[in-house]
Amino acid sequence: MRPYCLLPLFALAAAAFAQAPGNLSAAESEAVVVTDAGTFRFEFEPAKAPRHVEQFITLARQGYYDGSAFFRVVLNGIIQGGDPLLKNPKTARNLWGTGGLSLLASEFSDLKHERGVVSTIRIPNKPDSDGAQFFVCVSPQAALDGQYSAFGRVTEGMDVVEKISQATVDAAGLVEKPVRIQKVTIERKKQEPYLTASGAELERTVTLKTTLGSIKIKMEPSWAPNHVRNFLKLVSTGWYNGTGFHRISKDFVVQGGMGSTRAGAPYHPADRWVHTIKAEFRPDLKHVRGIVSMARTADPDSADTSFFLMLAPAPHLDGQYSAFGRIVAGMEVLEAFEKEEVNGETPKRRLEIIEATIDPN
């Protein structure tokens, strides 16, 4: 069966894309893929595969993918979709995957087929037969590196991608029921909250509603502005909600804020903005009771989400950890944490951040 080819259609659409005024650049954009299983978003890598990025954006804006489907999956490995033939629910199964091919020459790069990477389907053993169909890696696929044209990376909704990969399949890897792509749109890439906030805008107070009561933490941007920026970002997006306090070290610290402790929801939309922060050590700042500071590994620049509340003076932390705030209300809640029963340093019962919010100015 000769693959379905849309070369004339793409040539016209690409020209329209290039001439359209006021479009966002690929670097400013991301794709929003709405499916029957949920929504995921991915950003583009125009420096790695510029023609493939242009093709996807152009076709998405034309509605090319709307109504198609994910039809082939590898359990927790890969999902494949975007064949226009599947817009017709009566398309025979033996034709699934034959549409929308041979549109572009390959653009191989050093972009690895890691978890979340979006790449292009081509005809097996036929060079430069890349098409409009695409696949998303749920887990690393090193064997595909340098063999397929990767052009994007999932920024939000990997849980949805995983769910699609778990669809029931036949012996050929085709899903029993296609997972419909309801719509693909191109939107402005979400901006990281507080990324450009001024020092004055960082002077906020955060309320942690915990299992044991509420604690108010005053941010201190003059101590560690980037750590404050990071903490406010995570609070404002709800990233800390549902995370646990996994450590209580008597007469030392209460520690929490790890994504792995979030009950029932390991992934969060703001995971895209979780990254390590360069150390902002202040030897003159004392780690005394009520100070809030960031946890890290042996690498001074490895802090990301986990933080600790000081229970007592700890001079050995001064100048070694980045303090960024102080408790201004709720010291009685800190006392309640101290009274909790522990196994070693692990609380015997679950203690969590129910909700973290930024107080109105």
Tokens, residue 138: 């749920």
pLDDT of 270: 93
To 5 degrees, how large is the angle CA 140–CA 144–CA 148?
Answer: 125
Same domain, 178 and 211: no
Same domain, 327 and 244: yes
Same domain, 157 and 208: no
Residue 28 resides in a domain: yes
Q: What percent of the chain has pLDDT over 70?
A: 94
Same domain, 204 and 305: yes
Same domain, 338 and 209: yes
Residue 353 Cα to chain centre, angstroms: 21
Would you give the end-to-end CA distance of the chain in angstroms?
66
> Among residues 136, 154, 188, which one ends one of the domains?
188
C-beta of residue 290 within 8 angstroms of C-beta of residue 217: no
pLDDT of 361: 82
Q: What is the pLDDT of residues 122-163, one digit of tens each?
A: 999 999 999 999 999 999 999 999 999 999 999 999 999 999
> Among residues 166, 188, 210, which one ends one of the domains?
188
Residue 309 resides in a domain: yes
Q: Which segments in the chain show pLDDT lower than 70? A: 1-22
pTM: 0.78
**For the chain, how are helix, strand and coil distributed in percent, rounded to 5?**
20, 30, 50
What is the bridge-based pairing of β-strands 150-156 and 69-74? unpaired
To 5 degrees, how large is the angle CA 259–CA 309–CA 324?
Answer: 85
Helix, coil or strand: residue 316 = helix
* Total domains, the chain: 2
pLDDT of 11: 40
Residue 170 CA: distances (Å) to CA of 83, 85, 176: 18, 19, 7
* Amino acid identity, position 351: L
Same domain, 50 and 165: yes
C-beta of residue 259 within 8 angstroms of C-beta of residue 244: no
What is the CATH number for 328?
A: 2.40.100.10
Same domain, 263 and 349: yes
pLDDT of 264: 78
**Residue 148, domain extent:** 7-188
Same domain, 294 and 151: no
* Amino acid identity, position 165: S
How many Å is the Cα radius of gyration of the chain?
25
User: Using CA atoms, how far apart are residues 348 and 341, in angstroms rounded to an integer?
Assistant: 6
pLDDT of 12: 37
Same domain, 289 and 160: no
Same domain, 308 and 165: no
